[in-house]
Amino acid sequence: MFRRSLLALLLLAPVAVSAQERPITVSSTTSTEQSGLFGHILPIFTRETGIPVRVVALGTGQALDVGRRGDADVVFVHDRAAEERFVAEGFGTERRHVMFNDFVIIGPAADPAGIAGGRDAPAALRRIADSRAAFVSRGDRSGTHAAELRLWQAAGADPVAGRGQWYREVGQGMGPALNTAAAQNAYILADRGTWLSFRNRQELRVLVEGDERLFNQYGVIPVNPQRHPHVNAAGARRFADWIVSPAGQAAIAAYRINGDQLFFPNADRPEPAPGS
């Protein structure tokens, strides 16, 4: 009896979706996966098209590398400069903008650098640097890391001087970085989606938000079949077409955590220029 049930357990196929269509692999970022957005929109896509989606969630830099090596059919990330380079190098067919969310500066409730309530993100970072208050950086070439470095540049401050002291690069995803900041009562730049779904907040609060320079644009790029002939180009194109279509955009807008909308679809509008 026991043996039979064990056997049944072992024979269970790991694939849940038994659609006829060939699955696509999406190389994306931890923010889209860990915020729960994919859990909400992908079942809708699969229901409409019959295409199962497999998501590999990494930092934007790594996610683009996976596409570059041909290990994914489509990339869905947030670092416009790196995305345009990806297309220019011939690894992607075309980049379309999909949605944006925003970054927030998180910090301890005690706020030793005194930045709470501000709307000027670079000014807040300058105060953190001046007070040498602990700041956790992703340090992993992710889109969030790239955005953080752009903000430091705008602030005219060089955090690298504080490396190993108050500036702490953890080289990990958004969640682990937030766990580190919570444990050390440190400041951190985070995307709002991951923050809203993050559970281990301890003393951390949102201190600075609403600066236009904190906008975070996402783009979708099918991997170029001329570069990697084995990719599921048809499936990738359908995914990219769907996510910028009214149906895909509505699915994105409908995703909320405790009533808060996390991602704002903007495929039909010019995107806000980053860092301007």
Site string for other proteins, 228-257 (x = CB under 8 A): x-x---------------------------
Count of CB atoms situated within 10 Å of the CB of 41: 22
Which position among 29, 93, 179, 249 is part of the footprint of other proteins (CB under 8 A)? 179
- Residue tagged 């890391």 (tokens): 145
Q: Which is nearer to other proteins, 22 or 163 (CB)?
A: 22
- Give min distance, CB of 173 to other proteins, in A: 6
192-226 burial code (b ≥16 CB/10 A, e <16): bbbbbbbeeeeebeebbbebebbbbbbbbbbbbbe
CB 101 within 8 A of CB 88: no
Which position among 44, 50, 54, 162 is part of the footprint of other proteins (CB under 8 A)? 54
Which position among 5, 12, 258, 268 is part of the footprint of other proteins (CB under 8 A)? 12
Which position among 135, 166, 167, 198 is part of the footprint of other proteins (CB under 8 A)? 198
- Give min distance, CB of 76 to other proteins, in A: 14
Q: At what angle do helices 233-244 and 37-49 cross, to 10 degrees?
A: 110
For 179, residues 6+ apart whose C-beta sits below 8 A from its C-beta are 200
Residues in the chain: 276
Which position among 74, 129, 182, 196 is part of the footprint of other proteins (CB under 8 A)? 182
Residues 71-90 that bind other proteins (CB under 8 A): 71
Say if residue 37 is exposed, middle or buried (CB neighbours under 10 Å; 0-12, 13-18, 19+).
buried
Q: Is 170 in the site for other proteins (CB under 8 A)?
A: no
- Give min distance, CB of 170 to other proteins, in A: 12
Count of CB atoms situated within 10 Å of the CB of 230: 9
Q: Which is nearer to other proteins, 162 or 175 (CB)?
A: 175
Count of CB atoms situated within 10 Å of the CB of 111: 15
The DSSP element (H or E) to which 107 belongs, if any, is strand 96-108
Q: Which is nearer to other proteins, 125 or 174 (CB)?
A: 174
- Give min distance, CB of 40 to other proteins, in A: 13
- Give min distance, CB of 247 to other proteins, in A: 22
Query: Which stretch, 50-58, 79-87, 117-125, 207-215, contacts other proteins (CB under 8 A)?
Result: 50-58
C-alpha span between 21 and 202 (Å, rounded):
45
Binding residues for other proteins, rule: CB under 8 A, are 9-10, 12, 14-17, 25, 30, 34, 39, 54-57, 68-71, 173-176, 178-179, 182, 197-201, 228, 230
